[in-house]
Structure formats: C-alpha cells, structure tokens
Structure 1
Amino acid sequence: MINEKIKEGIQQYSDELTAIRRKLHSEPELSWEEYETTAFVSSYLNELGIEHRKTEPTGVIAEIKGGKAGETVALRADMDALPVEELNIDLPYTSKEKGKMHACGHDAHTAMLLIASKVLNEIKDELPGNVRLIFQPAEEAATGAKAMVEQGAVEGVDNVFGIHIWSQMPTNKVSCYPGASFASADIFKVTFKGRGGHGAMPHDTIDAAVIASSFVMNVQSVVSRTIDPLQPAVLTVGKMIVGTRFNVIAENAEIEGTVRCFDAATRNHIEKQLQVYAENVASIYGATANVEYIRGTQAVINEEESAKLVQQVTTEAFGEDANYYEKPTMGGEDFSFYLDEVPGSFALVGSGNPDKDTEWAHHHGKFNVDEDALVTGAELYAQYAWAYLNK
C-alpha cells in the first residue's frame, strides 16, 4: 500500500517544506484576505505544471490527472491566519504583520499539501485516478469550505481527506477514528429590552441587567437538565453588553454565545430551548426578548472505511505506534461541509513537543509547530491519496 517513491520524495524536499511553512508563517493573511497566499500557491503549482484555477475571492482548486483511469480523491488544506498578536518574537520567521498570526497551523497545512502535490505530480503516470487539491480560505470564519463546495471543489470527487496539525498530541502521532471528531459550532445572540431609568428609582424600571443575568445563570440547565448526559454538549455565553453608566438602570442587554455538540437532534433541541428560556425569563420581568441562532459548521463525522484507511496508511508508513487516539473535541472545523457532499475523513497530526515549546494551545500567541511533524503530514496526504486510489 505504501509507495516508497512518495516516502523518498517527501524526505528529499523536507528542507523546502520547512522553508515554505516559514515563509507563510511570516506573511499571515486573515480570512477572505489570502490574496498573496493564493498567488503563491498558484505560482508554485504553475512551476509544477499542475492544472488549477483560482476561486473567488481567494483559494485554489487544482487537479493532478493520473496516467490510468480511476476515482478522484480530494486533499484539503486551509490557508488563513488569525487576528492574534504573535508572542514568539525571537523566531526568525515570526509574523511580519502586527495583530495577525498563523496561530492554528494553517501555514503548515498549506506547505504540507504543496510538497505532497509536488511528489504526487512526479508519479502521476502511476496514479490510477486523479487527485483534487483544495487550498481553502476562511476556515477560521467557518465559511470557506462551504464557498469552495459551491465553486465546485468536490464535483466528481469520490473521497475527501484533510489534516490538522495538533499541538495537544505528541509530534508525529496520527489520530483518525471513525465517528465524531469535531463538534458542530453555532452562534446565538439574545437581545433583551426592558425599561431604563434612574438607579435610585428601580421601581419605575425593568432592569435589563437583572434579566440578562438571570438568563445566563438559568440557561446552563438546558444542557444539565434537558439533554441526555450521554450526548455531549456545551453552551457558552461569551459576551454580554449591558448598561451605560453606574447610576443608570439598563434598558437593553445583548448576549452572545456558542453551542457545540455532535448530534443533530441535540443541536435542534438546544436551539429551541434558547428561545423558550429567553422568552420566559423576559416575561417574568415584563421585558421582551429576541433570539437569533446562526448555524455554523456541522459536526465532523469520519466515515468508517476512510478513517480505517488512514490508520492502515499510518501503520505502514510510520509504524504501528504512530496511531494515537485523541478524543473528540468541541472545537469546530468547516471540513464538515465537504463530508456533507462525499465520504471521507479528517486526521490530526501531532506537533506538541515540550523540548521545542510547541505545546501551546491553538489560537494562542505563543502557538508554534514542531517542524518535524511537517514531513509526517506531507507524507500522510500523499500516501493516503495513493492508497485510496489503489484500494
């Protein structure tokens, strides 16, 4: 199942792989602003002679056409950075853009897929099928994958595979198991309207601060008392805006939060209960409530056959000990939109190394990648494509 030419090629280009990652890391671009990254990817693919097209407004879809007839497997890497100030000021490749940073490893993903593409292109005559390459913008905005699907990213594709560098796992370990991997990630906004007034005359008012506080305290029981405890769910209130001055009773309150779960029925139930709780809390105090529920990413559910293929490739390419079980996370990933269209799987590649200070959480200003993991990720991309097309 393992192609030795792929293994040798990835090793041969390991220095180039690191150099690409460092270049991208030093030049971060936010969601839907990845113009220079898109241009770089396009230029690199042009040099390799790989047919591709730019998507709107950013992103690239490419295809390596095999020398033999067969299916089409898609490989996806995301490209966007975060509005995070980099705290790794001593790195030679630290971000050049103030307030912007590759704090989630997307620079590594893009670099790994480019080198995987280079090696696969060198053996394209041996490929029994085609490899679709998806360089996706705006994963952090949870809108990029959906836009790429709408622009034909998975048309004619039989299977899709993605990778995420994971600082919470030891370097070079690979985790990919059937079933839930990432949770759905939704946003809710609740607005309460009471009646403002003087802080010394509360009897003439309907205090939006008290109403909002009551809602925040009570809404947690949606999860703790109305959902099967065997169905994981998280409801977090992350933002509250209420009041204007110390002696003015607030007329309005705005609350924003997020809902995470793996099960569609649980998701629907929480959405309905948010409306019920908001309206009833407001009613107790004589106020009104408005609830806006915004569905973000779906849950990432790895298809069984694809996930088992990842495990088999991992064992044969890196050894049985490389397979690692990382429990599902309540984090969101818009790779789910590809899995809505075609079967596939999403793997985590460990990059956490205490000796290199790369165990910082994703989205932290000190986040960094153990670059030894880049070779593992690049080879996993390429070997998975080879194995799928030859299965």
Structure 2
Amino acid sequence: MSSILDKAKAIEGYIIDFRRDLHEHPELSGQEIRTQGRIMEELDKLGIPYEKAGNASVIATLKGEKSGKTVALRGDTDALPMQEQSGVEYASKNPGVFHGCGHDAHAAMLLGAAKVLSDMKADIAGEVRFFFQEGEETFSGAKKIVEAGGMDGVDAVFGMHGMPFFGNEILETGEYDMTPGYRMAGCDTIYVKFEGVSGHGSAPNLAKDTVHPACLFVTDLQGIATKNVDPQQPIVLSVGRIAGGTKANIISKYSEVDISMRYFDQKVRETVHEAIKRHAKAIADAYEIKVDVVIEESALSLYNDEEITSIAQNSAIKIFGEGKRKTLPRFMGSEDMPYYFQHAKGAYAFLGYYNKEKDSVYFPHHEKYKIDEDMLKFGTALHVQFALDFLAEK
C-alpha cells in the first residue's frame, strides 16, 4: 500500500469535513468569497503562504528544502445555478445554488494535498503551487490565475475531475482515467446576425426579409461539418437559439442565430470558423442583406501531454494499484484547464466515484448528483504523488 495513500487516509475526515462545509455553502462563478476565505483560513493553519487572485481565487506556494522545478496543482471552487435534490444531510443552504459538478470535492482534495505536503518539505525538491480556482463553469478562472502570474516559471501542471461514467465505461470509486492526447473538447459560441429591410407582410418585395435566409443558413450549417471536415475529426454544431421578427405581418429586419460549437483539433476549428463566415456571407449576398458573425471563445480543447501523462500514470499506479486505469471515450464537454496548458505541459485525470450502493450514479450537472466520498482520499494522494514524482524527475 502506498505510503502517500496512507497519509491521505490519515486526514480523510479533515478532507470530508472541509468538502461538506463547501457543499453546504456553494457560491456561483466569480462569487466564491466565503470559499476563498475558508481556504485561506486552512492555509494559515498549515503555514503555507498564499496570495489572492482574480475575484475569489487563491494561489498558494509551498517550497521544499531542496531547489528544483515547479509543479502546479489545480482545484476549482465554483458551484452551479441549480436546486439540489441529492437528499444528503449536508445539502446546500443557498437556494438555487448547488455543487452539482463536484468542485467542492476538487477543492477539498487539493487542500488535503497541501496539508500532506506541508509535512513533507524535506521530500520536496522544488516548489509546489496550489491553484484554488474560481469560475471554471464560466471558463474565466484559469485566465485569472494566469494573469496573476500563477503559471510564471511552472514546469508542469496537473488537475482532475470526478466522473461516474462516460459512454459505456463505468468509472467506479478507486478507478481512474489518465490518457494522453485530446480528452475534452474546445467550445466556442458563434453569434450570426442578419440585417435586412423591414416592411409590410403584404409586400415582401419592397423589403429585405431575414427570417428566410436565417432558416436556410441553419439548414445549411450541418453541411459545413459533413463537407468541410475530415470525418475522422469530431465536430458538433448546435443551434441553441434562433430569433427574428416582432409580428406576423412585419417583414423582419433582423434575425439572429446562436451556435454552440465543440471541437478537438485546432485546424478543424479554424476551418469551421471560416466556413461559417463564408456560408453566412454567401446566403446574405444571395438575398441582398447584411450579416455579422461574432465568434466568442469559451474554452480550448484539452490535450494531455504524453510525457507528463506518463509520469502521472506511474504515480496513479502507486496510489490505486495495478489494473485500476480505464480509458474513457473522448468527452465533448469543455474545461478551462487548457489555458494552463498554454504555459506549461500538463495532464488531467478523471477519478471514479460511481457507487450504486451509495446512489453515487449521477453524471455532473444532475439535480441528484452526489459523489462517493471514498474518492477524496484517492484524489488527495494522487495530487501529492504526482507532485513528488514530477519534481524528482531529472
């Protein structure tokens, strides 16, 4: 049995209590002020220096007794605008706000890692940074950590997320996924606005309608995915909103189409961006109207570096044992972790919490979401083991 896992087990009650405290007092993205305060209280007790970042983030730094590289560990802290229906005794006391994605667990595991490592300075060859990050759900928090200098001088970065299953693969408590390459999709929101000339519904020839061209554009959109993109490359284009007009007998001057786009490969992303602009303009030109396309970057695709993932996989074997690693399908959901990967190589793991006996079977963002808290010691130990193993690498 891993000595690091033993150390995590020794403080398991502390990790669970902290996680439950955050769970009872969830806060939305960018508003995690109480959460930030609680984290700083615990860091003060541990004697780990820190600084505030962004609206409600914390960057803590633990230097070992030996010089060396710098590794960063990340845990997010924000909750969701949902009403909790999990039935747990420590349910949210904040109506309409719920830790339904497990960020309370992520923050608690990272704090647990800080607590374990604070007693191991003699074993740390370098520096460990702990990113308690706000605003993952809005893809804003990682940027705030970077802007505050959190990634300056960092050689590798590591993060994780609880997961019960994906595709046909169940990820039970005590199992994990750690796979190199693309693991999560990038996400863009694309706003297309057509502008014509309003007029009376009885005389459309005297106006320039936008509803009809907008509808043609929507039906044309999937042709971009099928005719411009390598079929081996996943791409998702979903129209979540289409709006135009004010009354049945008024020709609509404006029509708007809002598109959510998911992708993995950067070249595919660029190809689709250009194709959307091209198709929108062609349709607008055909109907003698104007069109404006605005592309809002939400998150980048997440790519696990092979070298860092290999180190993390070896760390995971020490914690979980042999035969506990599974390979989930690539996930079309998005994360802001890749913004750290722009500044240093990194890896991201999925930790299993599926436990039918405890009713820990719900996917994140479900109103009955609950984790198996046995997961917490594994995540804490994995953070610690990876940090030590990476810093020991020459």
Q: Which residue of the partner structure matches residue 328 of structure 2?
A: 326
Residue 38 of structure 2 aligns to which amino acid in structure 1? F
Mapped contact 2:123–2:388 kept (Cα < 8 A): no
Do residues 180 (structure 1) and 171 (structure 2) align? no
Shift of 1:333: 1.1
Alignment of 1:280-299 (within 5 A): 280-299=282-301
* Alignment RMSD (CA, Å): 1.7
Q: Structure 1's 320 and 219: CA in aligned 2 closer, same or farther, altered over 3 A?
A: same
Mapped contact 1:42–1:54 kept (Cα < 8 A): no
Whole-angstrom distance in 2 between the partners of 1:104 and 1:369: 9
Shift of 1:107: 0.7
Do residues 154 (structure 1) and 156 (structure 2) align? no
Q: Which residue of the partner structure matches residue 59 of structure 1?
A: 57
Whole-angstrom distance in 2 between the partners of 1:145 and 1:46: 23
Mapped contact 2:81–2:97 kept (Cα < 8 A): yes
Whole-angstrom distance in 2 between the partners of 1:211 and 1:18: 55
Could you report, residue by residue, the CA deviation over 1:296-321 in whole angstroms, capped at 9, with x for unpaired residues? 32221111111111211222221112
Shift of 1:199: 4.3
1:320 aligns to what SS in structure 2? Answer: coil
Mapped contact 2:172–2:353 kept (Cα < 8 A): yes
Q: Which residue of the partner structure matches residue 34 of structure 2?
A: 36
Q: Structure 1's 99 and 246: CA in aligned 2 closer, same or farther, altered over 3 A?
A: farther
Could you report, residue by residue, the CA deviation over 1:133-174 in whole angstroms, capped at 9, with x for unpaired residues? 111111111121112111111112111111111132322211
2:93 aligns to what SS in structure 1? Answer: coil
Match of 1:133 among 121, 124, 130: 130
Q: Which residue of the partner structure matches residue 168 of structure 2?
A: none
Whole-angstrom distance in 1 between the partners of 2:258 and 2:83: 24
Unaligned stretches of 5+ residues in structure 1: none
Q: Which residue of the partner structure matches residue 348 of structure 2?
A: 346
Whole-angstrom distance in 2 between the partners of 1:148 and 1:76: 10
Whole-angstrom distance in 1 between the partners of 2:284 and 2:173: 50
Unaligned stretches of 5+ residues in structure 2: 166-170
Shift of 1:126: 2.0
User: Which one is further off, 136-145 or 361-370?
Assistant: 361-370
2:164 aligns to what SS in structure 1? Answer: strand
2:303 aligns to what SS in structure 1? Answer: strand
| TM-score, scaled to structure 1 | 0.95
Mapped contact 2:185–2:262 kept (Cα < 8 A): yes
Q: Which residue of the partner structure matches residue 70 of structure 1?
A: 68
Aligned residues: 388
Match of 2:112 among 97, 111, 115: 115
Whole-angstrom distance in 1 between the partners of 2:228 and 2:11: 54
Residue 35 of structure 2 aligns to which amino acid in structure 1? T
1:296 aligns to what SS in structure 2? Answer: strand
Mapped contact 2:2–2:318 kept (Cα < 8 A): no
Whole-angstrom distance in 1 between the partners of 2:102 and 2:360: 11
Mapped contact 1:3–1:386 kept (Cα < 8 A): no
User: Which one is further off, 222-231 or 363-372?
Assistant: 363-372
Match of 2:160 among 153, 160, 163: 163
Mapped contact 1:172–1:373 kept (Cα < 8 A): yes
Match of 1:49 among 47, 60, 64: 47
- What is the percent sequence identity of the aligned residues? 37
Q: Which residue of the partner structure matches residue 259 of structure 2?
A: 257
Whole-angstrom distance in 2 between the partners of 1:147 and 1:51: 19
Match of 1:370 among 369, 372, 376: 372
Match of 1:80 among 66, 78, 91: 78
Q: Which residue of the partner structure matches residue 238 of structure 2?
A: 236
